[in-house]
Amino acid sequence: MAVAAEQMSSERANEASVEPIEWCQRVLASLRQRRKDDPETGHLEMLLTSFMEMRPPSHTFPALLARYAVDSRPGIAGAAVALQRAWERANEGAILPLLSFEDLLRTLGSLLDEAGARAGYLSVGPAGATLQGCGPTPCQRTLGPLELHHENAGRSALRSQILPADEAAAERFEGRLRVVGAMLETQPVQGYEIVVGPHLIEVEGDDGYCHVFTAEEIAALIAEAAEQRALDA
For the segment 74-129, what is each residue's pLDDT rounded down to a tens digit?
888 888 888 888 888 777 654 456 788 999 999 999 899 988 999 999 999 877 89
31 phi/psi in degrees, rounded to 5: -60, -45
Q: Give Rg (Cα) of the chain.
A: 18
Domain limits, the chain:
18-90, 101-232
Q: What percent of the chain has pLDDT over 90?
A: 33
Whether the predicted pLDDT of 16 surpasses 70 = no
Q: What dihedral do alpha carbons 112, 28, 170, 86 form, nearest 10°?
A: 100
pLDDT, residue 232, reads 76
pLDDT, residue 211, reads 96
**Mean pLDDT value of segment 142-155:** 81
Q: Looking at per-residue confidence, does 152 or 155 come out higher? A: 152
How far apart CA 65 and CA 60 sit, in angstroms, is 9
Closest CA relative to residue 167, chosen from 219, 159, 47:
159
Whether residue 103 contacts residue 127, with contact meaning beta carbons closer than 8 Å, is answered with: no
Look at the alpha carbons of 65, 70, 71, 75 in this order and tell me if their dihedral is positive or negative. Answer: positive
- pLDDT level of residue 33 (50, 70, 90 thresholds): low
Closest CA relative to residue 179, chosen from 163, 162, 196:
196
* Interacting residues of 74 by C-beta distance below 8 A, sequence separation 6+: none
For the segment 171-223, what is each residue's pLDDT rounded down to a tens digit?
789 999 999 999 999 998 899 999 999 889 999 999 889 999 999 999 999 99
176 phi/psi in degrees, rounded to 5: -65, -45
**Mean pLDDT value of segment 117-143:** 90
Question: Taking the CB of residue 152, how many other CB atoms lie within 10 A of it?
Answer: 20
SS (H, E, C) the chain: CHHHHHHHCCCHHHCCCCCHHHHHHHHHHHHHHCCCCCHHHHHHHHHHHHHHHHCCCCCCHHHHHHHHHCCCCHHHHHHHHHHHHHHHHHCCCCCCCCCCHHHHHHHHHHHHHHCCCCEEEEEEECCEEEEEEECCCCEEEEECHHHHHHHHHHHHHHHHHCCCHHHHCCCCHHHHHHHHHHHHCCCCCCCEEEEECCCCEEEEECCCCEEEECHHHHHHHHHHHHHHHHHHC
119 phi/psi in degrees, rounded to 5: -160, 170
pLDDT, residue 206, reads 92
For the segment 188-202, what is each residue's pLDDT rounded down to a tens digit?
889 999 999 988 999
Closest CA relative to residue 4, chosen from 115, 185, 140:
140
Q: Looking at per-residue confidence, does 83 or 38 come out higher? A: 83
